[in-house]
Chain A
Amino acid sequence: MLSEIAKKKISELKTKFPERKSAILPAMHMVLEEVGFYNKDILKQVAGLLGLSEMEVAETVSFYTYFPKEGVGKYHIQVCTNLSCMLLGAEGLVSYLEEKLKIKVGETTPDGIFTLSAVECLGSCGTAPMMQVNQIYYENLNRAKIDQIIDDLKMKK
């Protein structure tokens, strides 16, 4: 699934770090850019290119909610449910999103547009509550803001 150029770039990463495992994240960024998600075969390929075991790659990738798995919707909504966001109402926002999108956390809308996840701290406590949709942060959220964001995304499709 990876292009020859990406494969080449990934295997070049091997020599760039004293610890080969460190190459997993930059490699996965390349995957994200090119494919947009990962699956079992991609992880296997990345492991092979970096000379690591599949397990090492899979463990690292699973640590970051940032990397979407195959089957994820076009827009991956990740709501932070860690301390600061929780204190400022993240729980209510999650259930609001569930209601609005008619899916539960961890699910994708039948049209494949939205996936809803609750995630750990995204390092934006100062602007809590917040969520991330694909690469973009939406901060200081409330219900009205969420309505607006979802509407905009639906328009864009």
Chain B
Amino acid sequence: MVTLTIDGKQIIVEEGTTILKAAEKLGIEIPTFCYHDQLETVGACRMCLVEVEKIPKLQVACATVVSEGMVVRTDSPQVVNARKGVLEFLLINHPLDCPVCDKGGECELQNLVFKYGSDKSRFVEGKRRYIVDPKSKYDDLAIGPHIIRNMNRCIQCRKCVRFINEIAGEDDLGTFKRGSKTEINILPDIPIDNPYSGNVTEICPVGALTSKSFRYKIRVWQTEAIPTVCPQCADGCNIRIWKKDERIYRITSRRNDEVDEGFLCDKGRFGFDFVNHPDRLKNPLIKKNGKLSEAPWDETIKFVTSSFMKIKGETGSDSLAGVGSGKVTNEDNYLFQKFFRSVIGTNNIDHRVDSKNLLPSPDTQIRNKYFGMKNTINQIANSKLILVLGCDLEKEHPIINLRVIKARRKGSSILVANPVSTRLNRFAQNGLLYKQRTETDFLNGVLREIIETKQYDNAKSGFSSSEIEDLRRKVSSSDSLKALQTTGIGAENIKSFVNALVKAESIIILCGAEIISNPKNVEIINSLYDLIRLTGHQDKDNSGVNLLWKHSNSQGTLDCGILPDRLPGYVRISGKPGLNFNLMLEAVNQGKIKAMYIMGSDPLSEYPDREYVKSTLGKLEILLVQDILITETAKIANVILPGASFAEKEGTFTNVEGRVQKLNKAFDPLADSKADGQIICLLAQAMGHEFEYRTPKDIFKELTGVSPIYSGMDWETLGLSKKQGKVK
């Protein structure tokens, strides 16, 4: 530990801390431009100069490490002058076109000049201009589908290029020329088009890189920022919605270091069009004479509930079924299953409409094999080896992908095995391509190599010698050997794969959609567990097998009991379980299920056999679809109820690592749509049940009481503190 004094205040910090960090701890602000705590420090802009006693020249706070007895001043006349000087230099060529600059109001240059700059300009000469096309407005240049560049405003901090290189591992943005002519640019005709490009608009301290979709639409101070969670994938990045009235203008990161480290993917950042889309469902629709036509809410609710009651009365509760969704909140899903279990009286509940191969349901002890992630997102970057199996990580889980790239930067080995090459393969020490559906044969080959060459960790694995012998027999059988030939992976490749695995100090395995929906999913997962055990990693922090779910609330949907055989919190159903989605379809075809209520799912687009689903669902007496847009499934429904989007409701999502995070409402449900939970309450009440919840908070409270895994969570502080809301 090191003791130092900054502006007369003493502080003790760890060795290796920079002056900037130490000052931050004391609440002393030191202005910076080129510093970003996720990037390598370059000490280039000199904005952070401070005075250090006994050192004649001012030092950069961002890169100077503290030493014992150091006396630092951040408020001396010299420092004040230096800041003025640096800002004056930056303004020499800066166009000061704040009135027409999209960054105005949230520009770091504007703010720092306001705070530390000079009130006079001594500059009379002409300014440097980067004229890209004499006809272009303000010298703007589109350098990619999302990004507009205005080089006149650039202050050469290079944070954009460093982000693209270091964090995203891409090289589609670069620094050209030098000195006052330095220019941030793409290669001619190669636009910046990586899935993380939007981050540069947030990282750029000035209006040099701005977002195509946001710019010139509104001034930022006319918008309001609502903290919430990204609905686009299971990673659950923390975001802010910037809205005015009932419209989203943009989405930015609301940094959460446990999840996103302050970055978003472009899908999450720019893909919010659906919220204000003109095709949003605005009113309930009922099919009459083969045509969907608008109907008032009360009439629709009456129609639905009387149909449900009629069917229940005639053929029993089990002739109804409910399909929830990993895209709606825990509260909505919880109410949905409660509606089916207590109002309708059936366990025919599921949400897994995208696969015929379902994993066994977990039990209350949630460290079940078939349950989501064993590790946290943050642990990924700490693992010495990461094996990505059956997953296009960049597409499926963009932010987790960044953690893998981070691990790689820290020197970890990356192994990738997929049926087709993915973009992550460029970082893979070993990138294997196996023939689709030969995962088990490939893994048997890997296990066999470990066992036959005695490279397993006997002591740590906890396997008895007879267990090892059983395993050996299985993976070394002539069938297994023959099967290995079909994988398309040669013996040499297996050897080097195994070599990396047995050497690693920790192993994190990430499995994607290809594994989860695999016909042999259970077998594959078991083999991976064997692999982790054989290498002696089963009880280690930075090791484990992780299944990466698809949707923003896939985990929560499981947690809330949208399963035919589990209540919320994976409590086993005492009697006969209900039907899963595959069996529901069979039952529809046998005439046993007559009505289906689908909330937020779109089986016609998601199920592997579209025609089968389409013809099956077409046989229902009542197909009720509740969604925000006319989905493929909605098109064949007889009743459609307009739900609210993620921006229009409160609630919680549980992300892929089991973190329960709160969504906040940016504006009321558009037109005549309603939040899913509210619709369920209306239906339940019309059927004579109480369902009196004032807000999603009430529902969440009930959920924490019912579900052992959510117990003790507090709505008010959810997602605010680090530990809060993390299951496991």
| Chain A residues with CB below 8 A from B175, complex form | 59
| CB of B332 to closest CB in A, whole Å | 46
Q: 1/0 per position for B165-180, CB-CB distance to A under 8 A?
A: 0000001111111110
| Chain B residues with CB below 8 A from A54, complex form | 171, 187
| CB of A46 to closest CB in B, whole Å | 14
| Chain A residues with CB below 8 A from B187, complex form | 40, 54-55, 58
Q: 1/0 per position for A50-75, CB-CB distance to B under 8 A?
A: 00011110110011000000000000
**A59 contacts B176, C-beta separation under 8 Å:** yes
| CB of A16 to closest CB in B, whole Å | 23
**A58 contacts B176, C-beta separation under 8 Å:** yes
| Chain A residues with CB below 8 A from B181, complex form | 120
A36 to B532: give the CA distance in the assembly, Å. 58
Chain A interface: which size bin?
10 to 19
A75 to B457: give the CA distance in the assembly, Å. 70
| CB of B164 to closest CB in A, whole Å | 9
B8 contacts the other chain (CB 8 A): no
Instruction: Identify the A interface with B (CB < 8 A).
Output: 40, 53-56, 58-59, 62-63, 120
The residue that A63 contacts in the complex, of B171, B173, B178, with Cβ under 8 A, is: B178
Closest residue of chain A to B165 (Cβ to Cβ) is A55
B188 contacts the other chain (CB 8 A): yes
A63 to B176: give the CA distance in the assembly, Å. 6
- Nearest 3 pairs between A and B by C-beta? A62-B176, A55-B171, A59-B174
| CB of A45 to closest CB in B, whole Å | 14
Among B175, B178, B187, B188, chain A packs the most CB atoms within 10 A around the CB of B187
A96 to B6: give the CA distance in the assembly, Å. 56
**17 contacts across the A-B interface (CB closer than 8 A):** A40-B187, A53-B171, A54-B171, A55-B171, A55-B173, A55-B174, A55-B187, A56-B171, A58-B174, A58-B187, A59-B174, A59-B175, A59-B176, A63-B176, A63-B178, A120-B179, A120-B181
| Chain B residues with CB below 8 A from A53, complex form | 171
A54 to B172: give the CA distance in the assembly, Å. 9
Closest residue of chain A to B173 (Cβ to Cβ) is A55
A1 to B178: give the CA distance in the assembly, Å. 28
| CB of A105 to closest CB in B, whole Å | 12
A120 to B172: give the CA distance in the assembly, Å. 27
| Chain A residues with CB below 8 A from B172, complex form | 55
The residue that A40 contacts in the complex, of B171, B173, B179, B188, with Cβ under 8 A, is: B188
CB contacts under 8 Å to A, within B370-410, are none
With A40-B188, A54-B187, A55-B187 known as contacts, the answer to whether A63 contacts B177 (CB < 8 A) is yes
A65 to B188: give the CA distance in the assembly, Å. 18
Q: 1/0 per position for B144-183, CB-CB distance to A under 8 A?
A: 0000000000000000000000000001111111110100
**A62 contacts B171, C-beta separation under 8 Å:** no
Closest residue of chain B to A54 (Cβ to Cβ) is B187
A63 to B177: give the CA distance in the assembly, Å. 4
| Chain B residues with CB below 8 A from A40, complex form | 187-188
A58 to B184: give the CA distance in the assembly, Å. 12
| Chain B residues with CB below 8 A from A59, complex form | 174-176
| Chain A residues with CB below 8 A from B178, complex form | 63, 120
Closest residue of chain B to A43 (Cβ to Cβ) is B187
